[in-house]
Structure 1
Amino acid sequence: MKKIAIILLALISFVSCKNETKKEANLEENRAKSYDQNDGFITMKGEFVYDADQNAAVFESPNGTIYAVVVDENMHQLNEKVKPFKEHKYTSVPVTVRVKKSKNTNPNIKWEEALEIKDILKVEKPNPNKEDVIKLSN
């Protein structure tokens, strides 16, 4: 009787295990990542803006420091995620990203430091009551 119970338990355990296929990472999975990983990247929260006409992107940290953003595939993925929140092309969208910070080597860009986006952790809706947006009218 014990042998049958052990065989049944083993069979149930074996059948209940399933192979999970790896799927494409999304924002929810990235949010769960630890901010303390030892991979050389840092987590930054701030405002992101991309101007397609100039092919330039900037990131502003909460303390007001502005960084150039390396225009690459990850930057374009972030831009696609912020598009639904943009009211006009210069709307800055709050984001949390993991980045590699480096000195800016492009002489055409005035900011001293550049960020290369590695992971997109969070994209938030901009605050509609934010008072630092300049709107032009006649």
Structure 2
Amino acid sequence: MKKLFFITLILTAFISCKSESKTENTVYSDDELTTIKGEFVYFDGAGVIQTHRKIYGVLDSEKLKELNSKADKIKTKPTDMVLVEIKGKVTDQKDDVILWKNKVEIVEILKVTPNPKENNEVVKIGNE
């Protein structure tokens, strides 16, 4: 009976993980450009896109500045994350500034939307 319970539990967990990969934060590859959907934040000179599986450091470019400008228009605080969809070139080559393993150079900005409030909470320390 215990074996049946554990097998059912493992199968349920496995099936749940499979369906989770179809959430809105996804990565699609088409030729040499990759479409990435995820949460974007730009703070203190560094841009990051986080999907449900990976975190990408965004290489400095005019497109990064354009994306940040669009994101600033819908953010309420500098640390807010916004949902983005971009096309870019993904690389894992070493960079002196970006220490994330995965990096992306933005080629095209497809969509920038506000992040739902319940996912946008930041832990605050002190009186700020």
Task: Write the letter of the residue equivalent to 1:103.
Answer: D
Is 1:59 matched up with 2:52?
A: no
SS of 2:83's equivalent in the other structure is strand
Aligned to 2:8: none
Q: Shift of residue 135 of structure 1?
A: 2.9
Task: Write the letter of the residue equivalent to 2:81.
Answer: S
Q: Shift of residue 132 of structure 1?
A: 5.2
Q: Which stretches of structure 1, 4 residues or more, deviate above 4 A after TM superposition? A: none
Is 1:93 matched up with 2:85?
A: no
Instruction: Give the total of aligned pairs.
Output: 100
Aligned to 1:44: 36
SS of 2:66's equivalent in the other structure is helix
| Runs of at least 5 residues in structure 1 that lack an aligned partner in the other structure | 1-34
| Runs of at least 5 residues in structure 2 that lack an aligned partner in the other structure | 1-27
Q: CA RMSD in A?
A: 2.0
The superposition leaves residues 1-30 of structure 1 with CA deviations (integer Å, 9 ceiling, x where unpaired) of xxxxxxxxxxxxxxxxxxxxxxxxxxxxxx
Q: Shift of residue 131 of structure 1?
A: 6.2
Task: Write the letter of the residue equivalent to 2:47.
Answer: A
Percent sequence identity over aligned pairs: 32
Instruction: Using structure 2 for the length normalisation, give the TM-score.
Output: 0.68
The superposition leaves residues 59-116 of structure 1 with CA deviations (integer Å, 9 ceiling, x where unpaired) of 11122x2111001101111111111121221111110011110014214432111100
Q: Shift of residue 137 of structure 1?
A: 4.4
Whole-angstrom CA distance in 2 between matches of 1:104 and 1:90: 27
SS of 1:124's equivalent in the other structure is strand
Point out the structure with the larger strand share: 2
